[in-house]
Structure 1
Amino acid sequence: MMIKTTLFAAAMGLLLGAPLQAAGTATVGQSPWGPQDELGALNLMTEASRAAILSRVSGGEAYDLSVEYFIGMPGWHAAGDPRYQMWMTHTPRGTVKSDPMHLGEEMNAHVSYTGSAISMYAHTGTHIDALNHFGLNGEIYNGFRADDHLGDTGWNVTGAETIPPIIARGVLIDVAGAKDLEMLPDNYRITRADLEETLAAQEVTLQKGDVVLIRTGRMAAYEDADAFMNAAPGLGMEAAAFLAEESGAMIVGADNLSFEAFPSEIEGNYVPVHTYLLAQQGVPIMELVYLEELAAQDIHEFAFIGGSLKLRGADAAPMRPIALPIK
């Protein structure tokens, strides 16, 4: 089943709409941590910051912030990327017939063997974008050029394997909840005012080095890939600048798969929020984060703990983060 034309156009940057400003001469950001730095804002995580948030963990329930993977799940196949697939490589009855390890029918009938394999785009399910995911003018964050650092098997800088285990203060900004909505409207562009008003209602203040997660409510449509992907709400440029530059967020994320809203606000750039955060600010992006249980329990501040797969040279990696309530 193909995703609707609206999504395809958004993914390809072709939706009609009046951009707010031109791309101009935007260039990649240079890291304040030096010319060899590959971590960007992740440098804000320190031994002291980890100890500080862990000292506040209150115990009790751990909240799983990841989604399930299943055939037919939402994905970027409208942009030509592969869907999630899973298939069986060994089954109990099949092993008896084929005897792949030459153990004999009696052994295979006694010891049943089940095995499976998966294939998917790196930006499938709950995942984190590495800093090489988007760039500008042939460069990624900190001036690393594709001509110098990208080969047939991936990047030799800023790959997903460089992302450290993340332990930080997490903040949920439940924009949909603050508006008393199950889900933000289609194509809704989250503004700075939306974020500030929600934070005020939640009585939470952002701190430098936070993992900031935004709830649009889109997860209610997760089982229907077409409905989930079509005309999804997302972040606007002004809101992104508020999080990255003014508030000092270390990582930003949301419960949608595009993170930003379409159509683009910037003429000449179809994904300006991604290039701004990743290429200019060095702030990784998490997508498809499951936030429904936190929202239901009115938990807006927590210890965020997550590790992503160490996929060498990759531009993203799946992760299964958790949220622990704090006192």
Structure 2
Amino acid sequence: MSPAEKRPDDGSPARPIQSRAEFTALYRRLARSTGGARGAAAALAPELVRAAAGEVRLGRTVTMAAPIETRPAPDNPQPAGHRLTSPPEAEAGGAGLHFATDRFSMNVHGDADSHLDALCHVVYDGTLHGGVPASTVSAEGATALSVDLVRNGIVGRGVLLDIPRLRGVPWLEPGDHVTADDLRAAEAAQQVRVGAGDILLVRVGHRRRRIETGPWDAAHSRAGLHPEAVEFLAERGVAVLGSDGNNDTAPSPTEGVDFPVHVLGIHTLGLYFMDYLQFEDLVPLCEEADRWSFLCVVAPLRLPAATGSPVNPIAIL
């Protein structure tokens, strides 16, 4: 057993534990390569978008977003609000013209609904990505690094790595980690390679587990990437990271840092994150086509001062 692993007393598999010193060393290594003002999405140059369009073979489209939920659940104590604002029921069936209208409200960064994290979402040691002062984020909104930076969309080559498929299980259990070795093994098994500017999507099976066993307190218990796997993302030049979970494991494997993958990915590398997607519609299509790469189109809402946005990413095979 390596020094970075600790086996619990209950006989469950060994779990990697990262010290604060190890995390700091990794943070400093990754900080040497950043994506500039627009973050890593700046790598999505026109030539990469054109190349990604060449991934389309079947002309099939599939959503990677989960339905927005409006009822409380253990992982969603503040669900999105939705109500019809007109017309009143007494008028709806009457003569003449009427319009049905709606009002929505949402906790964008909750643990159930699919969303995109902007570069201003993570504050660490008083700064945002690129050393931007944390004071640029206030109750009035973000004046720097908001989701408005990607108002023209994020378009590129999507690559789905299915870790439960690799391990022969329906999902990873909460608390389990995806390592860099897992990512490389999934590449080999699926005959695909993650490259510069890719939109990397890592399936841990969170959504399937939630569907089949019911919601749980995902804020305190969920599968995700191990922080050291972020070095793989940096080496390959990934532009965006998405998962059907939160991307971070809970409990955190890092001493004194609750969301180490968010810190390393968003704050340090300038990656855009997509949390709580769903891949249950996409996996069968990838298996049918025997392809795990595709054109991916992400269109966040135009929220000029927001730290994130609900999102409906589309895979086009």
- For the pair 1:178 / 2:178, whether they are aligned, the reply is no
- For the pair 1:88 / 2:84, whether they are aligned, the reply is yes
2-structure distance, mates of 1:41, 1:56: 21
User: Which of the residues 14, 18, 21 maps onto 2:19?
Assistant: 21
Q: Cα distance 1:18–1:173, how it changes in 2: closer, same or farther (>3 A)?
A: closer
Specify the code of the residue in structure 2 equivalent to 1:260: D
- TM-score, normalised to structure 2, is 0.83
SS at match of 2:49: helix
Task: Please say if residues 174 and 250 of structure 2, whose CA atoms lie closer than 8 Å, have aligned partners that are also in contact.
Answer: no
1-structure distance, mates of 2:37, 2:68: 29
Query: Mapping of 1:106-121 within 5 angstroms?
Result: 108-121=94-107
CA positional deviation for 1:292:
1.3
Specify the code of the residue in structure 1 equivalent to 2:307: D
CA positional deviation for 1:67:
1.1
- For the pair 1:44 / 2:43, whether they are aligned, the reply is yes
Specify the code of the residue in structure 2 equivalent to 1:115: T
1-structure distance, mates of 2:50, 2:68: 33
Specify the code of the residue in structure 1 equivalent to 2:124: L
The corresponding residue for 2:138 is 151
The corresponding residue for 2:244 is 255
SS at match of 2:125: coil
2-structure distance, mates of 1:320, 1:54: 19
User: Which of the residues 196, 210, 213 maps onto 1:208?
Assistant: 196
The corresponding residue for 1:309 is 301
2-structure distance, mates of 1:19, 1:152: 36
Q: Cα distance 1:115–1:225, how it changes in 2: closer, same or farther (>3 A)?
A: farther
CA positional deviation for 1:246:
1.2
Query: Mapping of 1:3-14 within 5 angstroms?
Result: none
What do the CA deviations read for 1:39-92 (whole angstroms, capped 9, x no partner)? 1101101111111111342242111111111212668656xxx32111221145
What do the CA deviations read for 1:256-301 (whole angstroms, capped 9, x no partner)? 1x21112222222111110110111111111122211221232411
Specify the code of the residue in structure 2 equivalent to 1:111: L
What do the CA deviations read for 1:113-164 (whole angstroms, capped 9, x no partner)? 32221111122522111111112211001111022x2233111111011114
Specify the code of the residue in structure 2 equivalent to 1:113: F
1-structure distance, mates of 2:271, 2:160: 17
2-structure distance, mates of 1:154, 1:110: 42
Task: Please say if residues 69 and 79 of structure 2, whose CA atoms lie closer than 8 Å, have aligned partners that are also in contact.
Answer: no
- For the pair 1:321 / 2:313, whether they are aligned, the reply is yes
Give 1 or 2 for the bigger CA radius of gyration. Answer: 1
Task: Please say if residues 29 and 282 of structure 1, whose CA atoms lie closer than 8 Å, have aligned partners that are also in contact.
Answer: no
The corresponding residue for 2:60 is 61
RMSD: 2.5
Number of matched pairs: 290
- TM-score, normalised to structure 1, is 0.81
- For the pair 1:264 / 2:260, whether they are aligned, the reply is no
Specify the code of the residue in structure 2 equivalent to 1:156: T
